[in-house]
Amino acid sequence: MKVATKTKLGLHDEELTNEIIAAAIEVHRQLGPGLLESAYEVCLAHELSLRNIPVEKQKPLAVSYKGIKLNGVYRMDLVVDNRVVIELKCVEKVLPVHEAQLLTYLKLANIRVGLILNFHAMRIMDGFRRMIL
């Protein structure tokens, strides 16, 4: 059982995404750019946990199409408090296809808010996008 006073379950979406971005800034400050996406995923999940923010790594996303279900084919990098999908990138530039991927994840997961965090950026603030369905 989760204790409400120990988690940030009451935060509004904007406050929660601000907390996530602050955690990403800390990870980027400590590690810098240039590592693999998987390293940032582990470290960001750990930083969120240190801040008592519930997070799931590599959360499966079921896809249904005309009566068939594709289980385990897609995984969301991080899902925070079942309210924010985080798509991590380590790319030169966030492209429209990355944004489309996040929007599709949001739609399929029935989650309203998502973040793309590009840890390849020299400043993490230059590498994030907040998206809302």
Residue 80, beta-bridge partner list: 55, 84
Across the range 80-91, mean pLDDT stands at 96
In the chain, where the domains are located: 4-132
pTM for this entry: 0.87
* Ranges assigned E (strand) in the chain: 55-65, 68-80, 84-89, 113-118, 128-132
Q: What contacts 65, CB < 8 A, 6 or more positions away?
A: none
Crossing angle of the two packed helices 13-31 and 37-50, in degrees rounded to 10:
120
73 sits in the region (left: phi over 0; alpha: psi -120 to 50; else beta) called alpha
pLDDT of amino acid 6: 38
Identify whether the C-beta of residue 69 lies closer than 8 Å to the C-beta of residue 63: yes
In whole numbers, what is the pLDDT of the chain averaged over residues?
89
60 phi/psi in degrees, rounded to 5:
-65, 145
- Confidence category of residue 123, pLDDT binned at 50, 70, 90: confident
Give residue-wise pLDDT tens across range 16-67.
999 999 999 999 999 999 999 999 999 999 999 999 999 999 999 988 889 8
